[in-house]
Amino acid sequence: MRGKKKIKITFIYLICILLAGATLFPIYWMVIVSMRSKLELFTGPKLYQTSIFVNNYYRPLFKDIYGKFLINSLIIATGNTGLVIFLAIFATYAFSRFKIWGSESLFFWTITNRMAPPAAFILPFFLIFTKIKLIDTHIGLILLYCIFNLPFAIWLLKGMIDAIPKELDEVASIDGCSMLGTLWHIILPVAKPGLAVTAMMTWIFSWNEYLFASVLTSMNARTITTGLAEFVTVIGTNWGEMAAVSVVCLLPAVIFLGYIQRYIITGLTFGAVKE
C-alpha cells in the first residue's frame, strides 16, 4: 500500500510539473525572443540564448514612447485599484451589516454590471467622454474601469466581511467605537487578506484591459497593452521589440503578485466556510 501511495504521489507531482512547464514555456520563449536580434530570430529556433540584444529594450522604452505608455498603465491601474478598494469597503460593509429592504436586489443589480459585455458600452462611453472632455485622460479610464471592477470587488469582499462575526461590531460599539472606527480598527485588519486579493485582481484587470483603452485614448493616456499593437505594421512585425516590451509589461504584475502572495491562499479561502 505504501508503494502504491508513493507511485500515486509521484504521478501527481509529474503531472503538476508538466502543467507548470506548459504554462511557463510561452513566457520563457518570450524572454528568449526579446534577447535576439532580427538576424538571430530568422536563423532557426534555439531553446537557449547566450547573449542579449539590448537594443530591443532600449529603443522602444527610452527612445520611443513605450516608456510613457508604461507609466500611463501604472498610473491608471494603481489609481483605479485605490479608488475601487476605497468604494468597495464602504459598499460591502453596508451590504453586509445593514439589512434594509431591497438590499439583495441592489446587490444583484450591482453584479449584473460586471456581467454585461464591454463592447455594448463602447459607443455610449465614447459619446459621453467626448462631451465631458475625458477622452485620452488618466482620470477618464480610472473612472471607467470602476464600472466593471467595483462590482467584482464588492462581490469578492462581501463573502469575506460576512464571515467576520457581527459580535465584534457589538463589542466595539460597547467600548465606545464609532461605526467608522469599527470599520477601520476591527473589520479591515481582520479582512486584510481579502483586501489584498481583491486589490490584486482589480489591479490585474485594469492593467490588462485593452478594448476601452484602445478606443478612448490616443497618446496622452495610452496604455502599454494598446501600444503593443503598434509593433505589427504593414511591412512586418518587430518580434524582438514586441517581446521585450511584453516582458517589461509582465514585470509589474509579477512584482505585485510576489509582494502579496502570502495573502492569496488565505484571502481566496476566507469566508468559504462559515459556522
- CATH code for the domain of 86: 1.10.3720.10
Rounded to two decimals, what is the model's pTM?
Answer: 0.84
**How many domains would you assign to the chain?**
2
Q: Are residues 67 and 44 in the same domain?
A: no
Q: Which set of grid coordinates corresponds to residue 167? A: 459580535
Please indicate, yes or no, if residue 172 is contained in any of the structural domains.
yes
pLDDT in tens, 12-53: 999 999 999 999 999 999 999 988 888 888 876 777 777 788
Residue 117 belongs to domain spanning: 56-269
> Does residue 79 register a pLDDT over 90?
yes
Q: What is the b/e burial string over 52-90, where b = at least 16 CB atoms within 10 angstroms of the residue's CB?
A: ebeebbeebbeeeebebbbebbebbbbbbbebbbeebbe
Q: Are residues 20 and 98 in the same domain?
A: no
Of 75 and 270, the one with more pLDDT: 75
Distance of alpha carbon 194 from alpha carbon 181, whole angstroms: 19
Q: Are residues 16 and 75 in the same domain?
A: no
Distance of alpha carbon 204 from alpha carbon 254, whole angstroms: 10
> Does residue 269 register a pLDDT over 70?
no
